[in-house]
Amino acid sequence: MAKPFTAADAARVRDAAAEALEEHHVPGLAVGVVAGGVVAGGELAYAEGFGRADIESGRKQDPALRQRIGSITKTMTALCAMALVDEGRLALDNRLLDHIPELVCHGDGASITVRHLLTHTSGIGEVPMPEDARKPDGTLWSDEPDDDVLGMFPRGVTIDVAPGSKWAYANFGYALLGEIVARVEGAHISDVLRRRIFDPLGMTNTDLLDRPHPDLTTGYHRSPDEDARELSARAGIDVPDEPTVDGHNIRGRYQYVRGGGACGAVQSTVPDMARYASALLRRGAGIVRPATFDAMTAPQWCPDDRLESWGLSFQRFDRMGRRVFGHGGGVFGGWNSMLMMSPADDRAIVVHANCTFAEFEKVHTRILAATLEATPPQLAGAPAPEIVAAAPGVYEATPGALTNFRIITGIGRLQIKADGNGLVLYARRGPWKRGVRLFPADLADPAFLYIDDDAVEPSRLALLRDGDRITGLRCDRLVEMVRTDQVAPWA
């Protein structure tokens, strides 16, 4: 049985959220904690708003205000798909083109299954076609409401790698999954989510209508960093300087998710998301069968169980010694959200920020640590001498330009370099660009390391060995790279 959520617990979460708000200059945060797996009488164990829902007007942030929860929507779309599996109306091995035969695929689209779409292993990349990579935002976002899923693929969709061979986060895969669900149900995906999830759980302030709402917080974003500007310049794209409203945050505009929104258009509130989290802690609470829900949170794409892995829609993490699951969401303009469940503690957190910013993971991980009263691992020592000798070199992503889009734009190639104190990891861009030190993470496996990336919970890295030789690496966020001798070290 879960221990009660006390006033001391609430104070600890409150302090963590308030400190994160100030440290990262977040306009507003709304935080909720579910304890015990049941939202008794519709009340949360804890809910509080911090900062502003709208900076210019001074409107205060409040848990009852709406948030665009972005890709957390995918878990709802997946639950509806799995409910159809329970009913025998859909199968995980059904083929995409059997349900959407008019979709034009460039590559092995005939092999893509529902399972591939659920696990982000369909071979579909960040954008439908290579020529879309120059302006990827235009393929997913629109200035006008847009329910036409096939309209997202006017020239078809490129299958970048063989289905089932590689993990790559795919918004467009979930847009297609939502279309499959809608066709099987004979209803718009927004009505399917309402009937199967929102109404049964009493989520009265939640919908997939994707429209501005008077109770929606104002979204903000940050100026592009030097890496983003460099990539834009390389693509010939001019990045205008936008004025901030407070020295940090830029007011965003409402853009619609294209294709019906199954990949990321739900709006909700902290109390409603607490009802959803409670259902997830109770193994689906009737939305799907308990055994079906267990399969959704079990490892489905898991090269190394010590690293982040993926179930059927749900991301699986190791956080402060606990196995947790959940999903995050980011919306252009913007909003960031995180929903995370720790079954061992019978706790869940909901974190809503009305801003898109790179440090959001530090914010929600700090709040999770406070909720669980957990201590992140301590970093100490140097990697084993044989690892220090063998690991230095350059590493690059496995083949697939569109499925590598986030790796290329986020970190690029990696280099490991030895110095007098051990090993330092460098990235071409992103937070590891100037070097982060590697520390031992598992005394039983000297090739498993922590990355000292100034996070609340350090990222993890596993070196891949063939005898005494290091051939590649894996790290959190399901990044996999191979060692290359064709690129010169730069650090």
The structure's pTM equals 0.97
Residue at 380 is within a domain: no
CATH number at residue 441: 2.40.128
Last residue of one domain, picked from the residues 327, 346, 375: 375
Query: pLDDT (tens digit, 9 = 90+) per residue, 244-272?
Result: 999 999 999 999 999 999 999 999 999 99
Query: pLDDT (tens digit, 9 = 90+) per residue, 161-177?
Result: 999 999 999 999 999 99
Residue 479 pLDDT exceeds 90 = yes
CB neighbour list of residue 185: distance below 8 Å, 6 or more residues apart: 80, 84, 191, 192
In this structure, the answer to whether residues 393 and 335 fall within a common structural domain is no
In this structure, the answer to whether residues 317 and 426 fall within a common structural domain is no
In this structure, the answer to whether residues 284 and 416 fall within a common structural domain is no
pLDDT at 43: 62
In this structure, the answer to whether residues 346 and 429 fall within a common structural domain is no
Residue 384 pLDDT exceeds 50 = yes
**Mean pLDDT computed over 315-326:** 95
Residue at 489 is within a domain: no
Residue at 445 is within a domain: yes
In this structure, the answer to whether residues 464 and 369 fall within a common structural domain is no
Beta strands in 193-265 (DSSP E): 220-221, 250-251, 256-257
Residue 117 pLDDT exceeds 80 = yes
Encoding tokens for residue 1?
Answer: 């049985």
Residue 222 pLDDT exceeds 90 = yes
In this structure, the answer to whether residues 46 and 135 fall within a common structural domain is yes
Closest CA to 157 of 119, 112, 117, 107: 107
Closest CA to 250 of 25, 22, 68: 25
In this structure, the answer to whether residues 358 and 464 fall within a common structural domain is no
How far is the C-alpha of 337 from the C-alpha of 345, rounded, in Å?
21
Residue at 246 is within a domain: yes
In this structure, the answer to whether residues 306 and 443 fall within a common structural domain is no
Last residue of one domain, picked from the residues 351, 375, 399: 375
CATH number at residue 200: 3.40.710.10
Tokens 């939502």 found at:
178
- Taking a C-beta distance cutoff of 8 angstroms, is the pair 209, 194 a contact? no
- Taking a C-beta distance cutoff of 8 angstroms, is the pair 29, 21 a contact? yes
In this structure, the answer to whether residues 307 and 184 fall within a common structural domain is yes
**Mean pLDDT computed over 425-429:** 98
In this structure, the answer to whether residues 151 and 245 fall within a common structural domain is yes
In this structure, the answer to whether residues 212 and 336 fall within a common structural domain is yes
Residue at 490 is within a domain: no
Residue 20 pLDDT exceeds 60 = yes
In this structure, the answer to whether residues 400 and 428 fall within a common structural domain is yes
Q: What are the φ/ψ torsions at residue 41 (nearest 5 degrees)?
A: 60, 20
pLDDT at 41: 43
Residue 357 pLDDT exceeds 60 = yes
Beta strands in 28-159 (DSSP E): 28-35, 46-54, 59-60, 67-68, 105-106, 141-142, 157-158
Which of the 8 DSSP states describes residue 194?
Answer: I
Please tell me the total number of residues recorded for the chain in this structure: 491
Last residue of one domain, picked from the residues 375, 396, 413: 375
pLDDT at 135: 85
Query: pLDDT (tens digit, 9 = 90+) per residue, 185-198?
Result: 999 999 999 999 99
Confidence of residue 42 (pLDDT cuts 50, 70, 90): very low
Number of domains in the chain: 2
CB neighbour list of residue 255: distance below 8 Å, 6 or more residues apart: 141, 142, 143, 332, 333
pLDDT at 40: 47
Structural domain of 142: 1-375
Residue 38 pLDDT exceeds 60 = no
pLDDT at 37: 58
The least confident of 27-41, 100-114, 319-333 is 27-41
Confidence of residue 385 (pLDDT cuts 50, 70, 90): very high
